[in-house]
Each structure stands twice: as structure tokens, then as C-alpha cells.
């Protein structure tokens, strides 16, 4: 469906590069919700832009490729690579950017925002027909068609987010990318947005990618997920395995820091801060914060290891050869 092959992306600043995404490999499959988690500043949003082909100076892809495979009703497959994916926006791939407040044009009614985005795919329909169709779709998503006549500021934050999701899914794209769809909303509204996303996904049987720093979001709606740290994807696996059987020390710490039912003890965050992406350290990027770090961690970048069914993580401790070697005093 959507594949990232060893992708690196950087912000090209005056005399330095900020390497926001470093050699990332994974795929988003048909009919799944894939989550991308990690602390703020770890490259999640940049990765989503790379997937959406939203590449504009100073951001550039410095290595690797992105492939989007789309099969139409006749069974014909088209492959779009980075640099071409934007030709399939709205219809094959769509994007719900972070901050529903800021992405809508404040002086344009919601109706016109829909027309602007999708009218080129419906040029045979009259405005009236199209508006009726949009209204019908909004009703399907339990939204009042009256929002079409509103300006963005007349809607609540949660409602704006719902409208953006409706807009992004109206043409039934194969894949929908959403950046922090619930951030800055209160808990009840958050739950409503997540329910809406998962309902839409179940109905369309398409793929969704949800970026969120909130592990609770991933627990609630994703099927598989990846954990990012300092621009790298350090663990990928079924969501249930990430929560119940995490393998990378960073993921373990993230999971341990989550509040548990019936446990009121104050949870500590992970001490320390991630390294700068301008000059990332050699070796494992988590080494400065990792309680298990060894000498090799500061010099050699860990490879990715298969640690279970469909489950991968990058940490030297997961290399049986090194662990076994140590155990035998080698
Ligand atoms: Fe910790 Fe070393 Fe594993 Fe990195 S490679 S997570 S520093 S043990
Ligand atoms: Mg972000």
C-alpha cells in the first residue's frame, strides 16, 4: 500500500542540516490503522509530510524512497513515488494536518473549503448536486449539514476536527494520514474523534496512519504501530505486542510511564532529553538516556532485529550473538 524504503529527510538550514528522519523503513498495509508514536520533536510530523509528499524547502528527502500503490476498481495498480504522490492527493491519499484551528481559511465558509478541495474530481456535477452529496456524507458521519454554511471560527475545535476528517475522507481515499488528531481537545471530544476515525476506517476498509504523542490514542485505535526516537523508527509491531511485550528499552520506559488502572502512584517521565538532530551522536541515539547502555552502544548503531511475529526493534541487547557471546565470556 504505502512503503518507505530507507528514507531520510532533512531541513536544509543556512549552514546546517536538521536530520528529522533517519533511514526509516516500514509499510502501511491495506485495511489497518497504523500508529506513529514518540516524544514531541522526534520527527513524527516530518515523517508524515514525507509520506504525503508535502516536501517544500527547507525540507528535502536526502535518501531512500516512498512508494504508494493504488489499485482501482478494474484491478489496475498505479504506483506513485515521492515527487508524484501529490498527484493523487484527496483521491488516493489524504492528510489531516495538525491543528484544525490553523489549517482552515478563516474567511471562507466550510462549504467553499469542500468545493476547493474536491470540485476538480467532480467537474461533471453541478454545485447543487455536489453540495447535496457532501451534506449526505456529513450526515453519514453524524455531522449536521448546517456546518457547511459556517465559518471555521463559528465551530468548536472538536467540530472543526470532525469537518477536516470528513473532508479528507469524502472521496474515499485508500489511505488517510492524520497528525495529532486529538491534541488540544478535551477527553470526551478526543474519544468522539477516535470513534469517528475508526468507524470511517471500518466502513471504507482503507488504511489510516495516526501520528500521536499520546500512547492512549494508539492503544485505543491502532492495529500496528511504530515508535520513533530522535528521527529513527526504533520499534515496529502489532500494537498489542508493543504494549504487552515491548522490546526496545525506550519503548519499555514509555509503556512503564503510563498510568495503570488502580495504581495511583506518581509516574515518572523518562529522565533526560533526546539528542539534537543537527548533530546526532554516533551509535545508538538513546544511549545517553538508556540505563542499559554499554560501550558498543556509543560507537555502533544497532541493527534492526526480528523480535517476534511481525515485530522488529533496534537495540544491541536484542542481538543474540552479542548477548550469547557475553554470557560465555567471549
Ligand atoms: Fe540502550 Fe544500547 Fe539498546 Fe541503545 S542499543 S537502547 S543504548 S541498550
Ligand atoms: Mg508534530
Phi and psi at 249, nearest 5°, equal -55, -35
6 vs 295: CA distance, rounded Å: 26
Ligand 1 contact via 253 beta carbon (within 6 Å): no
Ligand 1 contact via 287 beta carbon (within 6 Å): yes
> pLDDT tens, 176-222?
999 999 988 999 999 999 999 999 999 999 999 999 999 999 999 99
Q: Mean pLDDT over all residues of the chain?
A: 92
Ligand number nearest to the C-alpha of 180? 2
Residues 174 and 90 sit within 8 Å (Cβ to Cβ): no
pLDDT value at residue 104: 86
pLDDT value at residue 324: 54
Ligand 1 contact via 152 beta carbon (within 6 Å): no
pLDDT value at residue 329: 36
CA 11 to ligand 2 centroid distance, Å: 15
Q: Give the angle subtended at the CA of 227 by the CAs of 209 and 170, to the nearest 5°.
A: 5
Q: Which of 76, 312, 51 lies closest to 207 in space, CA to CA? A: 51
Ligand number nearest to the C-alpha of 297? 1
Q: What is the DSSP string of 137-174?
A: HHHHTT--GGGGGS-GGGS-HHHHHHHHHHHHHTT--S
95 vs 31: CA distance, rounded Å: 17
Terminal CA-CA length for the chain:
44
Q: 92-101, 238-247, 304-313: which range is least confident on average? A: 92-101
For the entire predicted model, the pTM comes to: 0.94
- Mean pLDDT, rounded, for 102-118: 89
- Mean pLDDT, rounded, for 36-53: 96
231 vs 24: CA distance, rounded Å: 8
Nearest CA to ligand 1 atom 3: 315
Ligand 1 contact via 285 beta carbon (within 6 Å): no
> pLDDT tens, 134-182?
999 999 999 999 999 999 999 999 999 999 999 999 999 999 999 999 9
Ligand 1 contact via 249 beta carbon (within 6 Å): yes
Amino acid at each position: 500500500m504505502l512503503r518507505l524504503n530507507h528514507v531520510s529527510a532533512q531541513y536544509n538550514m543556512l549552514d546546517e542540516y536538521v536530520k528529522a528522519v533517519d533511514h526509516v523503513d516500514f509499510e502501511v498495509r491495506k485495511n489497518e490503522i497504523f500508529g506513529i508514536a514518540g516524544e514531541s520533536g522526534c520527527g513524527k510530523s516530518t515523517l508524515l509530510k514525507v509520506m504525503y509528499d508535502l516536501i517544500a524547502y527547507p525540507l528535502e528527502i536526502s535518501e531512500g524512497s516512498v512508494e504508494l500503490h493504488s489499485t482501482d476498481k478494474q484491478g489496475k495498480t498505479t504506483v506513485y513515488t515521492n515527487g508524484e504522490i501529490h498527484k493523487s492527493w484527496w483521491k488516493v491519499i489524504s492528510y489531516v494536518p495538525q491543528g484544525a484551528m490553523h489549517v482552515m481559511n478563516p474567511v471562507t465558509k466550510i462549504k467553499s473549503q469542500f468545493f476547493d478541495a474536491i470540485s476538480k474530481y467532480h467537474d461533471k456535477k453541478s454545485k447543487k448536486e455536489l453540495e447535496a452529496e457532501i451534506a449526505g456524507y456529513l450526515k453519514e458521519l453524524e455531522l449536521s449539514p448546517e456546518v457547511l454554511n459556517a465559518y471555521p471560527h463559528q465551530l468548536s475545535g472538536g467540530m472543526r476536527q470532525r469537518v477536516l476528517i470528513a473532508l479528507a475522507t469524502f472521496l474515499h481515499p485508500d489511505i488517510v494520514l492524520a497528525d495529532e488528531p486529538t491534541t488540544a481537545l478535551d477527553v470526551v471530544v478526543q474519544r468522539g474523534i477516535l470513534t469517528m476515525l475508526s468507524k470511517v476506517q471500518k466502513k471504507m476498509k482503507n488504511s489510516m496512519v495516526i501520528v500521536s504523542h499520546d500512547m492512549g490514542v494508539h492503544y485505543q485505535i491502532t492495529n500496528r504501530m511504530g515508535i520513533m526516537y530522535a528521527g529513527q523508527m526504533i520499534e515496529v509491531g502489532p500494537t498489542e505486542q508493543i504494549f504487552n511485550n515491548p522490546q526496545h528499552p525506550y519503548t519499555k520506559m514509555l509503556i512503564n510511564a503510563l498510568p495503570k488502572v488502580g495504581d495511583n502512584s506518581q509516574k515518572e517521565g523518562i529522565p533526560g532529553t533526546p539528542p539534537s538532530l543537527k548533530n546526532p551522536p554516533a551509535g545508538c541515539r538513546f544511549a545517553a538516556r538508556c540505563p542499559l547502555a554499554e560501550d558498543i552502544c556509543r560507537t555502533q548503531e544497532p541493527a534492526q532485529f526480528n523480535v517476534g511475529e511481525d515485530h522488529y526493534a533496534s537495540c544491541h541487547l536484542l542481538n543474540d550473538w552479542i548477548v550469547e557471546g557475553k554470557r560465555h565470556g567471549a
